[in-house]
């Protein structure tokens, strides 16, 4: 199956060329000779709808098979519209997605005041004219499916017709292809075209390398409120939602709420930072009108304490190829108690500093975060939250910008995490493969796996069983803690290729006191592991 998926794009393009040659750009459908409906641009990020939010209409897909074989495209658009959707993405590719240009014509005729995207594998300029006459307000241009000159020609043709073009990227090769074009509307797909696996942070890593001003649309992997929240808070003004909305149209409201709250959270933090003379305006993302959010200072839409909304985006910026001369994993140094240890970790290249706010010999205090406020590393509170929620001191440090995010390291249920803090990620202590399946129930884009100890939650020096580490790596990008040290980190990196490694006791002299020589050797071994 993976081999079939690996060349699915090539097969779609080959089949489509044959159909174009046989049937022409109308592909056997009846298209009006003249356009009779208005051109409607996608909703702007300043509108009450939060930005471009396109909800897909499709019958099947190569990755999921049949979704709704007998779908009435207009009826599906009506379901979306009932839940406040004002923009639709209509699949018109027939062989693999079960779509048709007839669907596009019918949906736009029923909702002339809504924005409609033609989603297809367009390859020829005459297809732009057909799209325009059929009622498309936007066309999708897939960078991976087009040569640079073809992409530029189709983009120019859309502009000449007065409609927009959503240029879709999947990887750095696509990005290099469009740098000269600098399209104003860019979609980044979280689905790998080779494996069809979704990585929710992949669009953020690619977005970090876009240097021109554009509206970003997050594509694939949006299944509800929290996904949309993370995307919007990370600088994506728009979202394109596919299968999840098809199966449950009522999710439209959840997605729009998440999108609105994400944009508002970033806007609020930008306004606070500007008022305080800080640099959070850059961190909160471009295009936001700081200071006018309706959200409260301590929380956001769903009630959790609000940290740095751009945490995930900043983390992926550090992961981007341009950030390091070698593709080393992200490095988190945890259990910091002394300011000089934190400064040394930052000087040596740590990406994230961890501070324990739980019963532990490594417990940190607010004064330490204030002393390290000038460090450019991301800062995370490690907590075991009680039934009463997050500790007041952690909420205060998040709001003050002294902490960026929260690592939940206790027995928090999936629903409890977002209720208590944003951004956050969950740490799971693995006992067996069942715990890996539980990881998928949490809404954070990443889950940190750690060794299980019945008496202590972390800092035990214990390692996870190799077979569990391997299984975790196969689930997706690996965030690994538990028993890491200068003596084993290189072998671990070569064996499992983790995205993030988290060390605490392995670089200590005593509990809570880092050993400078061990820390230096640890970072050296990491660099060596990815350069040999």
282 token code pair: 């850059």
Decide whether 2-25+44-260 matches 324-531 in CATH topology: yes
Hey, where are the domains in the chain? 2-25+44-260, 324-531
347 within 8 A of 321, measured Cβ to Cβ: no
Residue 319 pLDDT: 85
- Could you list the pLDDT tens digit for every one of the 532 residues in the chain? 333 444 788 899 999 999 999 999 999 999 999 999 999 998 875 445 567 899 999 999 887 888 888 899 999 999 999 999 999 999 999 999 999 999 999 999 999 999 999 999 999 999 999 999 999 999 999 999 999 999 999 999 999 999 999 999 999 999 999 999 999 999 999 988 767 788 999 999 999 999 999 999 999 999 999 999 999 999 999 999 999 999 999 999 999 999 999 999 988 766 655 555 544 334 333 333 333 333 344 566 676 899 999 999 999 999 876 554 457 999 999 999 999 999 999 999 999 999 999 988 999 999 999 999 999 999 999 998 766 678 899 999 999 999 999 999 988 999 999 999 999 999 999 988 888 888 889 999 999 999 876 556 555 668 899 999 999 999 889 999 999 999 999 999 999 999 999 999 999 999 899 999 999 999 999 999 988 6
* Cα(460)–Cα(452) distance, integer angstroms: 9
Tokens 């021109």, residue? 212
Confirm whether 168 is a catalytic residue. yes
The residue from 93, 127, 168, 226 that is catalytic is 168
306 within 8 A of 422, measured Cβ to Cβ: yes
The residue from 131, 190, 220, 223 that is catalytic is 220
* Cα(221)–Cα(241) distance, integer angstroms: 8
Confirm whether 189 is a catalytic residue. yes
Comparing CA positions, the residue from 116, 117, 178 lying closest to residue 145 is 178
Asked if CATH classification 3.90.1710.10 holds for the domain at 324-531, the reply, yes or no, is no
Is residue 92 exposed (0-12), middle (13-18) or buried (19+ Cβ within 10 Å)?
buried
Stated length of the chain = 532
Confirm whether 412 is a catalytic residue. no
Quote the DSSP letter at residue 465: P
| Distance separating the N- and C-terminal Cα atoms of the chain | 33
275 token code pair: 């008022």
Distance of CA 475 to the CA centre of its chain: 17
The residue from 119, 269, 332, 514 that is catalytic is 119
Compute the half-sphere exposure of residue 335: CA atoms within 13 Å on the CB side of its CA: 26
The residue from 94, 189, 190, 308 that is catalytic is 189
- CA distances 175 to 63, 79, 143, 470, Å, are 24, 35, 8, 31
Q: Which fold has domain 2-25+44-260?
A: TIM Barrel (3.20.20)
Residue 6 pLDDT: 45
Confirm whether 379 is a catalytic residue. no
218 within 8 A of 54, measured Cβ to Cβ: no
The C-alpha torsion from 449 through 450 and 453 to 458, rounded to 10°, is: -130
* Cα(77)–Cα(233) distance, integer angstroms: 27
425 token code pair: 């990620």
* Cα(377)–Cα(398) distance, integer angstroms: 15
Residue 275 pLDDT: 53
Peptide bond into 423 cis (omega under 30): yes
139 within 8 A of 118, measured Cβ to Cβ: yes
Backbone angles phi, psi at 164, to 5 degrees: -90, 165
**Range list of β-strands (E), 4-75:** 53-57, 60-61, 65-66
Quote the DSSP letter at residue 228: H
* Cα(99)–Cα(119) distance, integer angstroms: 10
Q: Which residues contact 510 (CB under 8 A, 6 or more apart)?
A: none
* Cα(23)–Cα(19) distance, integer angstroms: 6
Backbone angles phi, psi at 187, to 5 degrees: -105, 135
* pTM, full prediction: 0.91
The C-alpha torsion from 320 through 324 and 327 to 333, rounded to 10°, is: -100
Quote the DSSP letter at residue 166: E
Q: In 373-485, where does DSSP find H-type helix?
A: 392-399, 414-420, 433-439, 466-475
Q: Which residues contact 154 (CB under 8 A, 6 or more apart)?
A: 122, 124, 125, 127, 128, 139, 141, 146, 165
Tokens 């999840």, residue? 244
The residue from 93, 127, 219, 412 that is catalytic is 219
* Cα(431)–Cα(472) distance, integer angstroms: 12
């Amino acid at each position: 199956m993976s081999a079939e998926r690996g060349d699915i794009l090539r097969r779609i393009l080959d089949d489509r060329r044959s159909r174009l040659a046989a049937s022409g750009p109308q592909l056997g459908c009846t298209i009006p000779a003249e356009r009779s409906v208005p051109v409607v641009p996608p909703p702007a990020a300043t509108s009450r709808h939060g930005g471009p939010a396109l909800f897909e209409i499709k019958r099947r897909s190569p990755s999921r098979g049949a979704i709704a074989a007998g779908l009435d495209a207009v009826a599906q658009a009506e379901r979306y519209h009932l839940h406040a959707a004002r923009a639709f993405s209509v699949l018109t590719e027939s062989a693999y997605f079960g779509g048709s240009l007839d669907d596009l014509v019918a949906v736009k005729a029923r909702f002339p005041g809504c924005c409609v995207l033609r989603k297809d594998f367009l390859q020829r300029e005459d297809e732009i004219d057909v799209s325009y006459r059929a009622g498309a307000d936007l066309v999708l241009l897939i960078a991976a499916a087009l040569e640079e000159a073809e992409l530029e020609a189709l983009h120019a043709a859309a502009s000449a017709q007065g409609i927009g073009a959503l240029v879709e990227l999947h990887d750095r090769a696509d990005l290099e292809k469009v740098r000269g074009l600098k399209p104003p509307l860019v979609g980044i797909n979280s689905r790998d075209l080779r494996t069809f696996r979704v990585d929710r942070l992949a669009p953020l890593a690619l977005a970090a390398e876009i240097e021109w001003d554009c509206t970003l649309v997050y594509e694939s992997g949006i299944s509800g409120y929290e996904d949309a929240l993370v995307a919007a808070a990370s600088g994506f003004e728009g979202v394109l939602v596919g299968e999840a909305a098809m199966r449950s149209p009522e999710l439209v409201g959840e997605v729009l709420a998440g999108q609105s709250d994400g944009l508002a959270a970033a806007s609020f933090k930008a306004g606070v930072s500007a008022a305080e003379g800080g640099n959070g305006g850059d961190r909160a993302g471009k295009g936001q009108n700081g200071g006018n959010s309706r959200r409260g200072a301590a929380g956001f839409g769903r009630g959790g304490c609000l940290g740095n909304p751009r945490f995930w985006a900043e983390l992926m910026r550090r992961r981007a190829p341009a950030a390091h001369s070698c593709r080393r994993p992200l490095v988190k140094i945890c259990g910091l108690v002394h300011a000089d240890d934190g400064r040394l970790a930052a000087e040596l290249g740590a990406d994230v500093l961890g501070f324990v706010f739980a019963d532990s010999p490594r417990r940190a205090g607010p004064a330490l975060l204030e002393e390290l406020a000038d460090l450019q590393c991301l800062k995370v509170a490690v907590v075991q939250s009680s039934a009463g929620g997050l500790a007041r001191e952690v909420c205060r440090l998040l709001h003050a910008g002294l902490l960026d995010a929260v690592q939940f390291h206790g027995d928090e249920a999936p629903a409890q995490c977002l209720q208590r803090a944003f951004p956050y990620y969950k740490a799971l202590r693995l006992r067996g493969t069942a715990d890996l399946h539980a990881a998928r129930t949490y809404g954070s884009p990443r889950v940190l796996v750690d060794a299980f100890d019945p008496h202590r939650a972390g800092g035990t020096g214990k390692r996870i069983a190799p077979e569990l580490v391997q299984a975790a790596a196969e689930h997706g990008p690996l965030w690994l803690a538990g028993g890491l040290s200068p003596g084993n980190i290189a072998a671990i990196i070569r064996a499992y290729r983790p995205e993030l490694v988290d060390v605490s006791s392995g670089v200590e002299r005593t509990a809570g006191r880092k050993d400078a020589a061990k820390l230096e050797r640890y970072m050296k071994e990491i660099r060596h592991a990815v350069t040999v």
